[in-house]
Structure 1
């Protein structure tokens, strides 16, 4: 088992990218991420390693690279290193949804968040669904809202929808619990794994919009609660009242339905937001 990092980009990555500069972006949950400048533009280099809790994090960069190669024609690199795998993909410029909506969370009577920005996130997720994929890890930090290039949906290591090399694949054991749908949490509690779905992605989008607009998780549980306790709270419900004003609040409430069949599709979310603008 490796240490907690952070780890430098492996030599094999440096040889392919020949970066001029490197900036450490984050190191947590088995992943060290760097922003590097190259002759091809800025790149995100992800260095995966196992943790004391999860071994799959070591494989996540290479798995994501395999997914991205099926979704984009951009230059995607990956390889193996001493403690796991690494990948490199174009850097996405912009702010995360949670960062972008921070001003709304500090007003006593906040206005309705931007429908255009909410729509851009829904469009990014709908585009993935239209290609036959589910994301499996929808959360506010994974929507990068660009100033001119639209919104990017990043971190596709848990996505399902195409073939992934067996050496880099691993079972789906849920995602960040704050955004898990009840059926996903229930399956993980009972079986240890689950099957990500479009309906669960929509639920997670609703939870992501809610926390970004209010600062509150959609379900109440202690900050330090173990994950099984968090998941039990998700399964038992109910979610907090959706106090986001306007059309967006009504739509979030529909997306957070405990019954997957009652949730709108991502395309329907886009239609509702478009007509409300």
Structure 2
């Protein structure tokens, strides 16, 4: 500033030049702020565009899967009709046999769960509060497609009057199912035996650091593998009607992590997860 005063012939010229410099600095500050705002807006727009691309890609993937699933279902129906030769009597006999076999499987699971429950220590579980787990299929009330069709502990003829060991969420076949929390996939299996449907059908089992393990059953497709690390909200499969099921829905089970055992219970194929079950809604 002193240089400005000394180099000019008059005080008026010095003040005029000083004011010009101040005005220039102010203009530069405004331009810099505008540039910063533009950069921020551009970054935000790019983020939104990238997110939209991801969402569109996922929607396209889901649509493609639903189309392939429709073809798979036609093949399954064709196989079933071939097996029964369209004879109603054979069909009814097969249903009765499946019901009897499923009843035996359920009884075996109940016995094991009762034994495991004796060593259950409730203090090892996280405090019951909302938000510990995400809804694996968002409900229609929050913008999703799911609806609760049966709560934990409810009794029905389908389970021989026994308490239901999970939370059923009805949704269209092909609806994405997401991981309720961060964890490691410890089970991916299918209990169905050809067109004969048993227990959980296609399922995914995830172990969490909260001393909980979550089960996602009756899926039409699993998109993770055993040993995978998943994040809260990751898609792990799609709603289906596999296993012992009367309609498209997700059976969501929550277990005390340390109680889980994988049991072979013929005629169900693969392994059936068994453990101490907990009311999922206390953590959702």
Q: TM-score, normalised by structure 1?
A: 0.23
Q: How does the TM-score come out when normalised to structure 2?
A: 0.23
